[in-house]
Amino acid sequence: MILYSTNNKDLRVPFKEGVFNSLPADKGLYMPVSIPVLDPEFIADLHKYSLPEIAFRVSKAILNNAIPESDLKAIIDEAINFEAPVIEISKGINVLELFHGPSLAFKDFGARFMSRVMSYFLKEGEKQLDVLVATSGDTGGAVALGFLGVPNVRVTILFPKGKVSPIQELQLTTNGQNIRAIEIDGTFDDCQALVKQAFNDPELKEKFRLTSANSINISRLIPQTFYYFNAYAQIQRMGYKEVVFSVPSGNFGNIGAGLLAWKMGLPVKQFLAATNSNDTVPEFLQTGVYKAKPSVQTWSNAMDVGDPSNWVRIMDMFGGDRDLLKKVITAYSYSDGETLEAIKQVHAENGYIMCPHTAIAWLALKGWMTEHPSDDVAGVFLSTAHPCKFPDIFPAEIAAEIDIPVQVKELEGKERISSSLGNDFEGFKAFLLG
């Protein structure tokens, strides 16, 4: 598998280099030179396959021998070892639950696959790999748990102080071993900027073998295509042929993976990009002007992104053509008030409890289905996290009904360890060198 930079199609590197460098030197993002289209027969027969079987077929096609078959199969079987069920909650409206992994968020797919791919490529005796991650909450937990105990790798997680939920904070700060957490006095965008700056700092690059585990890493994007194919397999079993996916979006990695699956031949009628009031993309689709904004804090904090880092990948897939893009993606933006009303409504009418990110995807799907009523289309909204990660959002009577999964119970007695830093680069650099 060969990758190019979105800033320069002639800058080409093998998959392994893209995995370890995350970002090309010209600050573009890596994209595959060729996106294979899967055999239509395989797509028509998806319902016959399990999630790990689908994951193997899809990754084999896109990785194109970058990892030998038997090793790839072992990576998949270890990384993709939990379910991603599609459940009907009302007529035509289905939820794709992506929160059954160890950190209770969809980011487990990307993080678990990436950590195993990195450890596969990391030959014995090579310099220690330093993974730097900025997180608005969920990435850090998934990456920490994905890399915990992996030899020859150290993980440093930056999270915005006071802006992650108590369970998220536990997931970030109770690991020990090869994982360290830093709380930054600032926003998620500050954390992301610090990580980006570290990658461009000559002294740090010389001293450490730095890599990123954010959604910009190509090895996180690939495994996220698996559950789109697997969701399609499930809607086939339910008797549908057409699907609309509604994706709660922040950095646009999740929906980017969906679009990659679509490019690989998955028949998707429409993608809905559902955002909170951080509406840079909905505004761009409407006006044609992409204006990065400072992020604003909302209840769906994993989507508080004012300048989505994966957006250039999506533009790249459409050759920069906004009109083409608008045929495939419809964007919606919702306030915290609307999010809470959606949570209450679905709880009351369907007995289902959604996390705030998931609720925004539900709202977008409802919006689209109302405008395009049809019995033949399966509406699927992606549930990106378990509701127990955001306990403060829910009215007490709903919160009381949320079951606490075993993954959380195990964290509660553990000691928390983290460092505190400001949002200036010099302090962060001194910490890394220190």
Ligand X SMILES: *Cc1c(COP(=O)(O)O)cnc(C)c1O
Sheet strand arrangement including 179-184:
209-212, 129-134, 153-160, 179-184, 419-421
- Edge-to-edge strands, sheet with 93-97: 86-90, 93-97, 377-383, 242-248, 270-275, 329-333
Task: Give 148: exposed, middle or buried? Use CB within 10 Å, 0-12, 13-18, 19+.
Answer: middle
Q: x/- string (CB under 6 A) for ligand X, residues 287-306?
A: ---------------xx---
Give the DSSP H/E element, type plus range, for residue 100: none
How many angstroms separate the CA atoms of 406 and 403, rounded? 9
Site string for ligand X, 343-362 (x = CB under 6 A): --------------x-----
Stretch 91-120: interaction string toward ligand X, x if CB under 6 A: --------------x-x-------------
**Nearer CB in complex with ligand X: 67/279:** 279
The least CB distance from residue 225 to ligand X, in Å, is 13
Q: Which is nearer to ligand X, 161 or 357 (CB)?
A: 357
**Rg of the chain over CA atoms, in angstroms?**
20
Question: Least separation, in Å, of the C-beta of 138 and ligand X?
Answer: 3
Q: Which of 432, 217, 226 is nearest to 234 (CA)?
A: 226
Contact 173, 159 (CB under 8 A): no
Nearest distance, CB of residue 302 and ligand X, angstroms: 3
Q: How many residues bind ligand X (CB under 6 A)?
A: 16
Among 51-59, 149-157, 158-166, 249-257, the segment contacting ligand X (CB under 6 A):
249-257
Determine, following the binding rule CB under 6 A, whether residue 215 of this chain makes contact with ligand X: yes
- Specify the residue, 236 or 330, whose C-beta has the smaller distance to ligand X: 330
The size of the chain, in residues, is 434
**Residue closer to ligand X (CB basis): 56 or 284:** 284
- Give the residue with the Cβ less far from ligand X, 236 or 249: 249
Name the phi and psi angles at 14, rounded to 5: -70, 160
Shortest CB 104 distance to ligand X, Å: 9
CB nearer ligand X, residue 111 or residue 204? 111
Instruction: Dump strand ranges (E) for 15-109.
Output: 30-32, 86-90, 93-97
- Among the candidate windows 34-42, 45-53, 78-86, 251-259, which touches ligand X by CB under 6 A? 251-259
3-state helix, strand, coil in the chain (%, to 5): 45, 20, 35
- In the complex, least distance from residue 309 CB atom to ligand X, rounded to whole angstroms: 8
* Strands of 8-14's sheet in order across: 8-14, 2-5, 30-32
| Least Cβ distance, residue 389 to ligand X (angstroms) | 7
Strand-strand pairing, 209-212 and 129-134: parallel
Whether 107 is catalytic: yes
Q: Is 160 among the residues that bind ligand X (CB under 6 A)?
A: no
Nearest residue to ligand X by CB is 138
Options 102, 253, 282, 387; binder of ligand X; rule CB under 6 A: 253
- Asked whether position 254 contacts ligand X by CB under 6 A, the answer is yes
Nearer to ligand X, 141 or 379 (CB): 141
Phi-psi sector, 395: left (phi>0), alpha (psi -120 to 50), beta: beta
Interface map 375-414 toward ligand X (x if CB under 6 A)? ---------xx-----------------------------
Please tell me which residue in 16, 91, 107, 269 is annotated as part of the active site: 107
Q: Which residues, including other chains, have CB under 8 Å from residue 101's CB and lie 6 or more apart?
A: 82, 108, 109, 112, 142
CB of 16 or CB of 112, closer to ligand X:
112
| Alpha carbons 303 and 282: distance in angstroms, whole number | 13
SS3 131: strand
Question: Which of the stretches 60-68, 230-238, 248-256, 408-416 binds ligand X when contact is defined by CB under 6 A?
Answer: 248-256
Q: Which residues are catalytic?
A: 107
Chain residues that interact with ligand X, rule: CB under 6 A = 105, 107, 138, 215, 248-254, 302-303, 357, 384-385
